[in-house]
């Protein structure tokens, strides 16, 4: 290897170790040496415009992409380098260097020797040992890994769009995975870098991969970030279902139900539902109906994760499935209360404490189904009689009422409960059946979506039962023009403090001996106290932009945890003393571990903003409580220069830039779920 290649090898070794090092031009001789002169044995990938080889650099490995002769346009090559140099993110494959080699070699043609130009262009990237995502679409079934891949792709795409890069060829084959299954976006051959104040690119060329290309591109519309969001939606849908077509959430959840442990389902079902919703929104044919940006998708995921974090603290999720006597899914009657079995001396005190609507000592959630009565049920055989009973079914859990013979208007008055830790299906079915000698006949059913079932919280009264029309197995309420009858039900999510719970049939209530009951330990879980945080961003003074001689539009970003809000551009535009006068509301939870971060950003170009000042404000000590809903005075704060991470105030080098804020913890507001009290014979929407 010559001196130039030896020097380049040392530079490349340094780039691999130092992540902040910039890519460099590499000689062809070094790339040939690392790939054993582009040996077929080291080939790891091949496409229409390039072949990828694994290169060996001492004890390290790299990927060398050798472009074909069909990809010899200088303009496209330079454009791809421009995009690669801009893209530096944990979810984008790291660009190490490039080679643009041109040589004149003597070639024999028709017994004559001619001088021919041989032009080679190559790229060098970090090596990704797991290969591309398309190899794992239909084989990898761990949801935790799938969710990490989905979120990583979204974060990588958000970074590209924030830096004015449109990928244009996003697909599983262009997403590589490292040893930890972290996804990294690659192949910027078709990508476009937008200039300052440019929101789209117009071109007559339709480029991309069939099946992932946004439909508006076929009509010759401009290249916009929304096209990448369409491709992202298809990728997420493929990870969820293995198919490119949109799928109903119910069907997606059913395909995953067999792969998940019951202890996972509460958390995972919500993640799958949100990811399927995101994918469906991204795949809308009209670009205006898609999410506004990849950042909005990330915010949606963060919001879901934060809410799940709260609920995991409120409700106890057992890591083991319930071990019940006999069948694991049978209901046992719980009348009287368990504490009553302790004896007359302790039963009154224990029952009183358990029934107190304000004393949530051991909050446990239950799905409660009250089966009251039915009317106008049809007869099922030639004898013109009906022996009805009701089956309450959720996944594998099933409860059955008593059978009332020869009764078309039966009254049951039975309550069933299923532990909130084992809600293993997204649908609750209440089925009316006719008891027969050989095989019970189906009369009709009512199906509830779990997401539509309201929460009941004391001291609000128990929801009133409501009449529901029965439908057949296909969901038709009036098959052949005849009614199947009606059933009166009350369905809600409640806790063990509800006054109706002692009368319920429980899904997991094994008989306990006196010794076993007295050895049962209780656990206490605290619900976080939620308070509104009101922040008014009024104005700033003496801002210093990224360029000393000018200041572009300035906006203020306010963040607490995963909640992010931004103001409109300050007025007048380009002023060093902008005015916003905008007010925002956030939800904070005691003991206020999240700090309030206010950042002033300068919009240097379309889709890109640079921070020019920031202030970090601990809520517990610096934000006043407004218990009487009075007016709170505003205050000026000094902005720190740049985005320094240290929270030590003495380490900040402050300058004259200031921002005026008015903040308060509005304790006169109450953040809670409103109870959904249904009135009999009244639709829920009439509340």
Instruction: Tell me the mean pLDDT in the region 247-251.
Output: 86
Q: Which two tokens stand for residue 504?
A: 């319920």
Instruction: Tell me the mean pLDDT in the region 352-356.
Output: 39
- Of 81, 106, 126, the position where a domain reaches its end is 126
| Torsions phi, psi for 99 (to 5 deg) | -140, 130
Residue-wise pLDDT for 479-491, tens only, equals: 877 888 999 999 9
pLDDT over threshold 50, residue 343: no
User: Domain for residue 681, yes or no?
Assistant: no
Residue 256: predicted pLDDT:
86
Q: Are residue 171 and residue 294 in the same domain, yes or no?
A: yes
Tell me if 602 sits within 8 A of 554, measured CB to CB: yes
Tell me if 545 sits within 8 A of 599, measured CB to CB: no
Domain encompassing residue 537: 530-666
Of the two residues 302 and 2, the one the predictor is more confident about is: 302
Q: Are residue 185 and residue 293 in the same domain, yes or no?
A: yes
Residue 201: predicted pLDDT:
65
Count the alpha carbons within 13 Å of 110 in the hemisphere toward its beta carbon: 0
- What residues pair up with 659 in beta bridges, in sequence order? 540, 637
pLDDT over threshold 70, residue 320: no
Residue 366: predicted pLDDT:
84
Instruction: Determine if the pTM surpasses 0.75.
Output: no
Q: Which two tokens stand for residue 132?
A: 């591309």
Q: What confidence category does residue 527 fall into, taking pLDDT thresholds of 50, 70 and 90?
A: low
User: Domain for residue 397, yes or no?
Assistant: yes
Of the two residues 548 and 142, the one the predictor is more confident about is: 142
pLDDT over threshold 90, residue 436: no
Residue 342: predicted pLDDT:
38
Q: Are residue 56 and residue 180 in the same domain, yes or no?
A: no
Residue 197: predicted pLDDT:
62
pLDDT over threshold 50, residue 297: yes
Identify the CA nearest to 228 among candidates 276, 158, 173, 288.
158
User: Domain for residue 673, yes or no?
Assistant: no
User: Strand 411-419 and strand 505-506: pairing?
Assistant: parallel
Residue 504: predicted pLDDT:
63
Strands of the sheet containing 441-449, edge to edge, are 397-400, 388-394, 427-434, 441-449
User: Domain for residue 173, yes or no?
Assistant: yes
Q: Which two tokens stand for residue 124?
A: 């060098």
Q: Are residue 499 and residue 576 in the same domain, yes or no?
A: no
The enclosing domain of 300 has a CATH number of 1.10.510.10
Instruction: Name residues whose C-beta falls within 8 Å of residue 9's C-beta, 6 or more positions apart in sequence.
Output: 1, 30, 57
Q: Are residue 144 and residue 122 in the same domain, yes or no?
A: no
Q: Are residue 302 and residue 343 in the same domain, yes or no?
A: no
pLDDT over threshold 50, residue 682: no
Of the two residues 507 and 97, the one the predictor is more confident about is: 97
Instruction: Name residues whose C-beta falls within 8 Å of residue 46's C-beta, 6 or more positions apart in sequence.
Output: 52
Terminal-to-terminal C-alpha distance of the chain: 81
Mean pLDDT for the chain overall: 78
Residue 514: predicted pLDDT:
44
- Residue whose token pair is 């609507």: 357
- Of 256, 288, 314, the position where a domain reaches its end is 314
User: Domain for residue 201, yes or no?
Assistant: yes
Confirm or deny that 630 is annotated as ligand binding: no
The helix (run of H) or strand (run of E) holding residue 394 is: strand 388-394
Q: Are residue 405 and residue 429 in the same domain, yes or no?
A: yes
Highest mean pLDDT among 198-212, 223-237, 389-403: 223-237
- Of 488, 518, 548, the position where a domain reaches its end is 518
Tell me if 291 sits within 8 A of 235, measured CB to CB: no
Q: Are residue 152 and residue 272 in the same domain, yes or no?
A: yes
Distance CA 35, CA 57 (A): 9
Q: What confidence category does residue 643 fall into, taking pLDDT thresholds of 50, 70 and 90?
A: very low
Q: Are residue 140 and residue 122 in the same domain, yes or no?
A: no
Q: What confidence category does residue 128 fall into, taking pLDDT thresholds of 50, 70 and 90?
A: very high
3-state secondary structure of 178: coil
Q: What confidence category does residue 173 fall into, taking pLDDT thresholds of 50, 70 and 90?
A: very high
Q: How many domains does the chain have?
A: 4
Q: Are residue 623 and residue 588 in the same domain, yes or no?
A: yes
Residue 325: predicted pLDDT:
38
- What residues pair up with 223 in beta bridges, in sequence order? 201
pLDDT over threshold 60, residue 390: yes
Residue 79: predicted pLDDT:
84
pLDDT over threshold 80, residue 646: no
Instruction: Tell me the mean pLDDT in the region 199-213.
Output: 73
Q: Are residue 31 and residue 142 in the same domain, yes or no?
A: no
User: Domain for residue 686, yes or no?
Assistant: no
Q: Are residue 147 and residue 189 in the same domain, yes or no?
A: yes
Distance CA 642, CA 647 (A): 13
Flag the least confident range among 246-255, 272-281, 331-340.
331-340
pLDDT over threshold 90, residue 164: no
| Torsions phi, psi for 127 (to 5 deg) | -90, 130
Tell me if 666 sits within 8 A of 532, measured CB to CB: yes
User: Domain for residue 74, yes or no?
Assistant: yes
The enclosing domain of 545 has a CATH number of 2.60.40.150
Q: What confidence category does residue 407 fall into, taking pLDDT thresholds of 50, 70 and 90?
A: confident
Of the two residues 47 and 361, the one the predictor is more confident about is: 47
Flag the least confident range among 57-71, 325-339, 594-608.
325-339
User: Domain for residue 676, yes or no?
Assistant: no
The enclosing domain of 24 has a CATH number of 3.30.200.20
Residue 507: predicted pLDDT:
59
Residue-wise pLDDT for 445-485, tens only, equals: 999 988 888 887 666 667 788 899 999 888 888 887 788 89
Residue 3: predicted pLDDT:
75
């Amino acid at each position: 290897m010559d001196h130039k290649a030896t020097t380049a090898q040392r530079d490349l070794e340094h780039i691999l170790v130092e992540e902040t090092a910039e890519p460099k031009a590499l000689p062809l001789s070094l790339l040939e040496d690392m790939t054993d002169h582009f040996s077929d044995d080291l080939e790891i990938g091949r496409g229409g415009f390039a072949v990828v080889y694994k290169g060996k650099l001492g004890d390290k490995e790299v990927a060398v992409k050798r472009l074909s002769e069909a990809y010899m346009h200088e303009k496209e090559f330079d454009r791809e380098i421009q995009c690669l140099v801009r893209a530096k993110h944990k979810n984008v494959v790291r660009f190490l260097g490039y080679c643009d080699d041109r040589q004149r070699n003597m070639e024999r043609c028709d017994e004559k020797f001619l001088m021919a130009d041989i032009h080679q262009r190559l790229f060098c990237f970090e090596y990704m040992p797991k290969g591309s995502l398309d190899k794992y679409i239909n084989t990898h079934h761990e949801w935790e890994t799938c969710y990490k891949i989905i979120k990583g792709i979204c974060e990588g795409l958000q970074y590209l769009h924030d830096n004015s890069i449109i990928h244009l060829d996003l697909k599983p084959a262009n997403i590589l995975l490292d040893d930890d299954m972290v996804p990294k976006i690659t192949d910027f051959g078709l990508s476009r870098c937008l200039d300052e104040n440019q929101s789209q690119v117009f071109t007559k060329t339709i480029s991309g991969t069939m099946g992932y290309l946004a439909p508006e591109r076929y009509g010759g519309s401009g290249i916009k970030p929304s096209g990448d969001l369409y491709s992202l939606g298809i990728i997420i849908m493929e990870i969820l279902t293995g198919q490119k077509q949109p799928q109903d959430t119910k069907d997606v959840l059913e395909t995953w139900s067999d792969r998940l442990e019951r202890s996972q389902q509460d958390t995972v079902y919500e993640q799958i539902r949100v990811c399927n919703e995101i994918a469906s929104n991204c795949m809308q044919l009209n670009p205006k109906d898609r999410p506004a940006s990849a950042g909005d998708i990330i915010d949606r995921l963060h919001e879901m994760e934060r809410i799940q974090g709260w609920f995991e603290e409120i409700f106890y999720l057992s890591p083991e499935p319930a071990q019940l006597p006999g069948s694991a899914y049978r209901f046992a009657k719980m009348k009287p209360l368990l504490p009553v079995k302790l004896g007359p001396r302790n039963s009154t005190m224990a029952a009183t404490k358990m029934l107190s609507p304000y004393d949530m000592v051991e909050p446990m959630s239950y799905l409660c189904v009250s089966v009251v009565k039915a009317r106008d049920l049809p007869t099922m055989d030639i004898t013109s009689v009906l022996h009805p009973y009701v089956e309450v079914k959720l996944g594998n859990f099933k409860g059955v009422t008593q059978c009332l013979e020869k009764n078309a208007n039966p009254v049951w008055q039975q309550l069933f409960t299923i532990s909130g830790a084992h809600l293993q299906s997204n649908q609750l079915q209440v089925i009316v059946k006719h008891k027969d000698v050989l095989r019970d006949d189906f009369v009709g059913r009512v199906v509830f979506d779990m997401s539509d079932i309201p929460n009941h919280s004391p001291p609000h009264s128990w929801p009133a039962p409501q009449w529901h029309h029965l439908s057949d197995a296909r969901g038709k309420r009036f098959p052949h023009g005849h009614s199947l009858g009606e059933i009166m039900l009350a369905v809600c999510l409640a806790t063990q403090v509800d006054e109706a719970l002692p009368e319920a049939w429980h899904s997991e209530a094994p008989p306990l001996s006196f010794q076993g009951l007295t050895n049962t330990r209780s656990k206490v879980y605290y619900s976080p106290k939620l308070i509104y945080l009101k922040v008014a961003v009024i104005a700033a003074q003496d801002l210093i932009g990224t360029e000393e001689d000018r200041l572009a539009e300035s906006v203020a970003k306010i963040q607490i945890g995963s909640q992010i809000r931004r103001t409109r551009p300050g007025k007048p535009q380009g002023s060093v003393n902008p005015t916003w006068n905008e007010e925002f509301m956030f939800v904070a939870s005691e003991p206020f571990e999240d700090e309030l971060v206010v950042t002033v950003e300068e919009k240097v170009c379309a889709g890109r903003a640079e921070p020019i000042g920031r202030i970090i404000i601990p809520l517990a000590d610096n934000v006043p409580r407004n218990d009487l809903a009075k007016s709170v005075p505003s205050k000026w704060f000094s902005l720190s220069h740049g985005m320094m991470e240290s929270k030590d105030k003495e380490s900040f080098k402050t300058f004259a830039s200031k921002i005026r804020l008015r903040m308060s913890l509005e304790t006169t507001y109450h953040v809670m779920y409103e109870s959904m009290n249904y009135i009999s014979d009244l639709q829920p929407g009439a509340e």
